[in-house]
Structure 1
Amino acid sequence: VIRSQLVEQQKCLEQQTDMRVQLLQDLQDFFRKKAEIESEYSRNLEKLAERFMAKTRSTKDHQQYKKDQNLLSPVNCWYLLLNQVRRESKDHATLSDLYLNNVITRFTHVSEDNMRLLKKSKEIIFQLQEDMMKILNELYTVMKTYHMYHTETLSAENKLKEAERQGERQGRGGEAIFSLRTEDRHQRRNAARKIQKMKEKRQAKYSENKLKVMKARNEYLLTLEATNASLFKYYIQDLSHLIDCCDVGYHAGLSRALRTYLSAEYSLETSRHEGLDILEGAVEGLDPSSDRQRFMETHPTAFTPPARFTFQPHMADQVSQITALPQVQAELLLRFQQLQSRLSTLKIENEEVKKTSEATLSTIQDMVNMEDYDVSESFQHSRSTESVKSSVSDTYLSKPSLAKRRANQQETELFYFTKLKEYLEGSNLIAKLQAKHDMLKRNLDHNTTANTSGHEIPVCIPQPVSIHTHLYYIYIYTH
């Protein structure tokens, strides 16, 4: 039983090593395939980024980006998105290289070390098992010797008892010895002496065998104790040590290889998060007001207000102000009053249109700023596959109410542009009438002052506005 058990031990160790080697081989194959996937993914990302980078290199935005990186915020987001893709491409290429030249190499070394340690451990186990078999053979020999001596002792004891019984029978017949003839008495005495000698001889043999069996038993007990101690040490201590020898570096090497994988993956995520944080900052910086100002400053020729039109006198006419002589003063005053009345009505009406337009714009902004972009629930792996699919299908874009919301948004936009057009037309009319009103007011006031003082109304010829003030008007018109 023990011999078969010792053989089974070696088989178990070999099987364990084979399983470990197979596991390590599977890990190598897995990471080799994963490296191929990461490399292919990296190349595809690079192609994707390069495809759109090539389209933008010739654009004015790209030239502006290379010059001072002063871009419109949506364009900046687009460039950062492409940069993020290129960053991920490089990171995945690095990940592929780490798998091929680091992680797989570590698994290879662990496998080689495990095979080498198994070989050395098997040599030691074989030697220990040989020693154990010698001890067991010695125990078997000592036990057989003890059994043999004990059997001989029992046989000698039986023979001694038989001789003693014969002596007892001979003694009971000795009471009538004096009634026998001389010849018969002589034979009787000879028989008694023979029995006595046989008893002495068998007693000596029994004593000798008893001594032998005692020594054999002692040797057997000592050998038995030593054998049990050796077996206990082998099974409890030696085997554990040898199994530990086979394990030396296996778990540590496997841990280091997998920790290299974890470090690479966590570093990939860290790099990805850093890039996404930059992109998120750009998304947070999406600002229509700043983009409008930057857009107009980028195209000053198109958006710089033209110089103010100046009075172009005909021939030698030098009068450049409204003439408020008595002949037309009443007419001008009536026109001023009509303008004032109409402006008052238009401002009230236009203010109501403005409020409606602003409220509608606020509604549109609420629609377009809806926080429906959180899809984190779609990546919850604690749910069943069906639940995950359901959560993915229930996204904003696939809900039945999307069509209704889109229709409401378009209807609201149409209403907003209608009101915006009405407001702009009204405000433009107000601006024109207000300019006429203000000019009439200034001249009527000047005329009244002049008539009161008896002085002639001064003639003012306004100077044309310099082209250098055009950019200033951009700021005034847009704020």
Structure 2
Amino acid sequence: MTSPAKFKKDKEIITEYETQVKEIRAQLLEQLKCLDQQSESRVQLLQDLQDFFRKKSEIEMDYSRNLEKLAERFVTKTRSTKEHLQFKKDQNILSPVNCWYLLLNQVRRESKDHTTLSDIYLTNIIPRFSQISDDSVRLFKKSKEVGVQLHEDLMKVLNELYTVMKTYHMDNADSISAEGKLKEAEKQEEKHIGRCVKQEDRHIGRSPDPGANIRFEEKHQRRSSVRKIEKMKEKRQAKYTENKLKAIKARNEYILVMEATNSSVFKYYIHDLSDLLDCCDLGYHASVNRAMRTFLSAEINVEQSKHEGLEIIENAIDSLDATNDKQRLMELYHTVFCLPPKFDFQPHMGDGVSHLCAQQPVHGELVLRCQKLQSRLATLKIENEEVKKTMEATLQTIQDIVTIEDFDVADCFQYTNSTESVKSTLSETFMSKPSIAKRRANQQETEQFLFTKLKEYFEGRNLITKLQAKLDLLQRTLGESQRAGYSIASGHQNSSVKKQGGSHVIPLVVESCIRFISRHGLEHEGIFRVSGSQIEVIDIKKAFERGEDPLAGDQNDHDMDSIAGVLKLYFRGLNSPLFPKEIFHDLMSCVTIENVDEKALQIRKVLVTLPKPTIILMRYLFGFLSHLSQFSEENMMDPYNLATCFGPTLMSVPEGHDQVSCQSHVNELMKSIILHHDAIFPGQKELDGPVYNKGLTAEDYCESPHGDPASAEDVVQDVGTETHTSEDGREHLR
């Protein structure tokens, strides 16, 4: 039985854990309250700005009318003067009078300027702040949903830790109890054997007597009693061994879950919270920047004399920074966003082991578990990296939408003698463009896709964090120093090359996926943009790695988005990107060329330095993408959308460069190659090898009527490894 002291100690441990979890739960609730307060404060700020500019618009309009009345009063007065008659006759008047007329003209011009200013406030700036408020509320709502989901996942992890800790304590208590019973049986056995020995000694010292038969019967009974005690000891020994093993396993599971829990909590407070706050601020600072710059431009053009005061406002606008604001928020509420202390191992009474037990009989189980974790983590990391690239590309698209430099209203203040109304002057401004509704619809659609990918990325990263923590602890315990690597490219190198009578060489996975999409998916909406089933993607990928072609035949029972995902996953898994890093800067210099023909020529000059098999594969792929873009009205994937999907996959940005800005240039490059692939890549007469031909049947996509191309091994090897200049002895095009 458990002593009162042990029971009290167990209760204290449970209470301490519950207190720590309760503090974290309270912290999570305070985080949501903090976000709500930020949202309310932001909406109130935007409402105050709208009220301010509405009142200022009224003041400017009143001021404009007063100026107009002032000018009209003195113009009417001067119309009958001699100076005015002389002015109308030959424009030859005294300079003071000329100054007087110029002053009146300036007042009328100023009146028009302030009318323009009032209209800009009313029809441009106020609607901007209204839209920012709507966007801010929508983004805060979506971010809060993500935050609530993260909190639920975190509490699940904490509850799991609580469950395994209680199981460990119960199993260890059973082990201690069984050990006590075993020791009690051993003491009984020793005591009984000692008593029997004493009785035997007494009988040996005595002479035979008529009661010998009675003593023999007693001796037989004592032996029977000894056997019973031995059997009881054996049972208790087996029970103790069973409970001891169960306690060891429970302790191992508790330590593993504790490590995963600490990693999950660390990941949430260090990474997830920061990312969540970024989502709350998505586009807000840039949108406020645009609205305030509209006000700034109007004020500067109306009255240059206010330049000193407006410089202060400009500095404040230039200081809009989402990163700094986020840091300030976290510093202001540091008790809410600080990382809580790690969970420490709480040993049960008498248990001094605080690490994984890798000895027999659990060693084999841990090794098998480690291998399974390695395999699963390799696949999860590839999948999550693909989601991350898609999310970053989508984020860049949103940044491009909300950072349009459309705040300059200088054209509204170009003074002319024309009598056109202010409304006609403003007909070309940002708020009056017919495309505003379409732009906002595209922005909201892109935001929805971003949050879908964000949730998927958070879930994947959360799972990877937990599994990686368990794997690292297992590897440290088992003494492994190398993690098992996984490369999808190696599988492709061994099994993804197909030869058809020696006529062409294209990796099987590329040819088969393109053939399937060309047959059934050219009009599929969102192809390469919408994620497919990860389970089906993995199944198809593994089939290709075994040398099979799961897409052969005319059946159309596969998910089109999953097929597209397999094709992207192949290029993502290459040891080296299809476009090597060595030519990154040369290709980036081509992006800024405005002349289309000159740009295509320069890109061609850079690409022809690559090995022949690499160019053949590029030519084949971009021929297909160009064909696919011709169905953009049905599949909603024009060249730019395809470039956004394939840019991060085919060409990575080298370290040390601005990933966001460089990625937009990479996408522009891919768009140019898709649009002008015929001018960029050499034809069959110039470069022997297969080409994508949209006019042929599916079986003929890779046929080449000219000569024998390079070997299959060269294609896969050259695509997946680094390329060098002609000084290295590689075969290059001339």
One of 25, 40, 52 as aligned partner of 1:3: 25
Letter in 2 for 1:152: D
The question of whether the paired residues in 2 share the 8 Å contact of 1:142 and 1:216 is answered with yes
Residue range with higher mean Cα deviation, 40-49 or 162-171: 162-171
Q: Shift in Å at residue 190 of structure 1?
A: 2.5
Q: Which residue does the alignment assign to 1:416?
A: none
One of 171, 175, 195 as aligned partner of 1:173: 195
User: Are 2:188 and 1:154 aligned?
Assistant: no
The question of whether the paired residues in 1 share the 8 Å contact of 2:147 and 2:276 is answered with yes
Letter in 2 for 1:95: L
Q: Which residue does the alignment assign to 2:237?
A: 203
Which protein, 1 or 2, shows the higher relative CO under an 8 Å CA cutoff with sep ≥ 6?
1
What are the ranges of 5 or more consecutive residues in structure 2 without an aligned counterpart?
1-21, 204-214, 308-734
**CA pair 35-89 structure 1, distance change in 2 beyond 3 A:** same
Letter in 1 for 2:111: S
User: Are 2:204 and 1:182 aligned?
Assistant: no
1:9-88 map, 5 Å: 9-88=31-110
Q: Which residue does the alignment assign to 2:592?
A: none
The question of whether the paired residues in 1 share the 8 Å contact of 2:58 and 2:118 is answered with yes
1:104-119 map, 5 Å: 104-119=126-141
Q: Shift in Å at residue 184 of structure 1?
A: 2.8
1:437-452 map, 5 Å: none
Tell me the distance in 2 between the aligned counterparts of 1:104 and 1:127.
35
One of 173, 193, 207 as aligned partner of 2:227: 193
User: Are 2:240 and 1:218 aligned?
Assistant: no
Tell me the distance in 2 between the aligned counterparts of 1:231 and 1:43.
63
Letter in 1 for 2:46: L
Tell me the distance in 2 between the aligned counterparts of 1:126 and 1:59.
78
TM-score after normalising by structure 1 = 0.55
User: Are 2:264 and 1:230 aligned?
Assistant: yes
Letter in 2 for 1:156: A
State percent identity of aligned pairs: 69
Tell me the distance in 1 between the aligned counterparts of 2:90 and 2:184.
128
Tell me the distance in 1 between the aligned counterparts of 2:133 and 2:103.
43
Q: Shift in Å at residue 39 of structure 1?
A: 0.8
Work out the number of aligned pairs and report it: 273
The question of whether the paired residues in 1 share the 8 Å contact of 2:178 and 2:243 is answered with yes
**CA pair 151-68 structure 1, distance change in 2 beyond 3 A:** farther
Q: Shift in Å at residue 74 of structure 1?
A: 1.6
Q: Which residue does the alignment assign to 2:285?
A: 251
What are the ranges of 5 or more consecutive residues in structure 1 without an aligned counterpart?
274-479
The question of whether the paired residues in 2 share the 8 Å contact of 1:46 and 1:89 is answered with yes
**CA pair 210-75 structure 1, distance change in 2 beyond 3 A:** same
Tell me the distance in 1 between the aligned counterparts of 2:235 and 2:43.
72
Tell me the distance in 2 between the aligned counterparts of 1:226 and 1:184.
63
Tell me the distance in 2 between the aligned counterparts of 1:266 and 1:66.
35
Q: Shift in Å at residue 77 of structure 1?
A: 1.6
Tell me the distance in 2 between the aligned counterparts of 1:78 and 1:272.
24
**CA pair 195-271 structure 1, distance change in 2 beyond 3 A:** same
Q: Which residue does the alignment assign to 2:111?
A: 89
Letter in 2 for 1:255: N
Tell me the distance in 1 between the aligned counterparts of 2:198 and 2:166.
50
Segments of 4+ in structure 1 off by > 6 A?
none
Tell me the distance in 2 between the aligned counterparts of 1:15 and 1:215.
47
User: Are 2:275 and 1:241 aligned?
Assistant: yes
TM-score after normalising by structure 2 = 0.36
Tell me the distance in 1 between the aligned counterparts of 2:157 and 2:190.
49
The question of whether the paired residues in 1 share the 8 Å contact of 2:300 and 2:306 is answered with no
Q: Which residue does the alignment assign to 1:102?
A: 124
Tell me the distance in 2 between the aligned counterparts of 1:132 and 1:203.
41
Tell me the distance in 1 between the aligned counterparts of 2:65 and 2:98.
24
Q: Secondary structure at the match of 1:58?
A: coil
Deviations 1:313-333 (CA, angstroms, capped at 9, x unpaired): xxxxxxxxxxxxxxxxxxxxx
Q: Secondary structure at the match of 1:98?
A: helix
Q: Shift in Å at residue 272 of structure 1?
A: 9.7
Q: Shift in Å at residue 174 of structure 1?
A: 2.7
Q: Shift in Å at residue 271 of structure 1?
A: 9.6
Tell me the distance in 1 between the aligned counterparts of 2:306 and 2:103.
12
Letter in 2 for 1:174: C
The question of whether the paired residues in 2 share the 8 Å contact of 1:88 and 1:272 is answered with no
Tell me the distance in 2 between the aligned counterparts of 1:219 and 1:29.
60
Q: Which residue does the alignment assign to 1:268?
A: 302
Deviations 1:82-134 (CA, angstroms, capped at 9, x unpaired): 11211211111111111111111111111111111111112222222222222
One of 99, 103, 126 as aligned partner of 2:148: 126
Q: Shift in Å at residue 140 of structure 1?
A: 1.3
Q: Which residue does the alignment assign to 1:325?
A: none
Tell me the distance in 2 between the aligned counterparts of 1:163 and 1:122.
61
Q: Secondary structure at the match of 1:20?
A: helix
| Aligned CA-pair RMSD | 1.8
Tell me the distance in 1 between the aligned counterparts of 2:104 and 2:60.
19
Tell me the distance in 1 between the aligned counterparts of 2:306 and 2:266.
58
Higher helix proportion: 1
